[in-house]
Amino acid sequence: MRRRHCLPEEFAVWYHLFKYVLVGPVLRLLGRPTVVGREHLPAKGPVILAGNHLAVADSFYLCLMVRRRIIFIAKSEYFTAPGIKGRMLRWFYSATGQVPVDRSGGRAAADALEAATAILRDGGVWGIYPEGTRSPDGRLYRGKTGAMRVALATGVPVLPVVVKGTETVNPPGSRCWRFGRVEVKICPPLDLSAYRPDQFRAATDHLMAVLREESGQEYVNTYAVRAA
């Protein structure tokens, strides 16, 4: 029997409690978030949300401002820490829609793509940052091809998503959160009809060009390296 990646019902309840009661009101106070383009996100069915990545807060604000539940793929290390703190983190990541994948071994990339495909097969929303890590300096870096490999293989629509202002609310390298203004823009789905399944590199470059245009970030045609 294949493994399902939709959240169990008890975690779905916690997801909405975090979003609307426990965390969401604080996020709204800090970031005064706005969203445009909600009409581009279908009410049901599989979809890929592929966005720029400026801060840890990106995922929080995407989940807050997007009506549907978003599922991200996270490193399995987040779920295996020992002790009480480890159990709390495992519960938190599960409750907020994270799916653990071992990304350290030789099959890491394949396992991550299999997990993403399972999320979409279940009709879910897969959230991904094509840069692979947070931008170390606010610029937009070359995208990795995973999202487009899955999109071209499955035919699932890809919606570029641009977040602005999270680097002010949640400065990279700092544990402090500050007041700011966060903007979320959901762009129309990409037209991928011109790309064959093996043209995932070209399709990824197309995605990054849209993110660059919509975000206004300077583009760097190299992969991002996470700052120490």
Instruction: From first to last of the 228 residues of the chain, give the pLDDT tens digit.
Output: 344 445 555 567 778 888 889 889 999 999 999 999 999 999 999 999 999 999 989 999 999 999 999 998 876 666 666 777 667 666 666 666 677 666 554 566 777 888 899 999 999 999 999 998 999 999 999 999 999 999 999 999 999 999 999 999 999 888 889 999 999 999 999 999 999 999 999 999 999 999 999 999 999 999 998 754
Q: Using alpha carbons only, what angle is made at residue 164 by residues 17 and 193, rounded to the nearest 5 degrees?
A: 95
- Give residue 9's pLDDT: 55
24: how many CB neighbours lie within 10 A of its CB?
Answer: 19
User: For the chain, which residues make up each domain, given as ranges?
Assistant: 9-220
- Give residue 199's pLDDT: 97
Phi, psi of 40 (to 5 degrees): -80, -20
**The pair of three-digit structure tokens given for residue 1, joined into one six-digit string:** 């029997």
**The pair of three-digit structure tokens given for residue 10, joined into one six-digit string:** 């008890």
**The pair of three-digit structure tokens given for residue 131, joined into one six-digit string:** 């840069």
Domain 9-220, what architecture?
3-Layer(aba) Sandwich (3.40)
Three-state SS sequence of 37-98 = CHHHCCCCCCEEEEECCCCCHHHHHHHHHCCCCEEEEEEHHHHCCCHHHHHHHHHHHHHCCE
pTM (predicted TM-score): 0.87
- Give residue 103's pLDDT: 56
